[in-house]
């Protein structure tokens, strides 16, 4: 530790004690600055993670409602035609349990 180093310096040459004291205060100051920077960065990352989580929650749970209650198929039928459900079923692989992205 720094105290052990100061004691060793004092035993070696008592005139170095003042320099050791000043150097110790500088080291402690720099360590405190580093601790403050680390705390700010941790807070920034936490805030960023919170924003990203809220964004993702809003994607899957828009306006705190179930998607099927908020989004209707009617606009999709108007845009892509009344045969959209049949085309989607034709693209669906019932043997695949994974999520699939389809473009129409």
Q: Find the mean pLDDT for residues 8-15.
A: 85
Q: What does the pLDDT read at residue 29?
A: 96
Q: How far is CA 11 from CA 3, 5, 21, 27, in A?
A: 12, 10, 14, 21
For residue 27, the model assigns a pLDDT of 92
pLDDT value at residue 15: 84
pTM for this one?
Answer: 0.51
């Amino acid at each position: 530790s720094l105290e052990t180093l100061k004691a060793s310096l004092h035993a070696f040459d008592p005139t170095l004690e003042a320099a050791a004291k000043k150097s110790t205060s500088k080291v402690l100051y720099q360590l405190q600055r580093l601790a403050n920077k680390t705390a700010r960065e941790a807070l920034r990352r936490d805030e960023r993670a919170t924003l990203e989580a809220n964004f993702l929650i809003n994607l899957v749970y828009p306006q705190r409602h179930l998607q099927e209650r908020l989004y209707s198929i009617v606009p999709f039928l108007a845009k892509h035609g009344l045969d959209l459900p049949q085309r989607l079923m034709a693209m669906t692989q019932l043997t695949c349990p994974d999520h699939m992205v389809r473009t129409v």
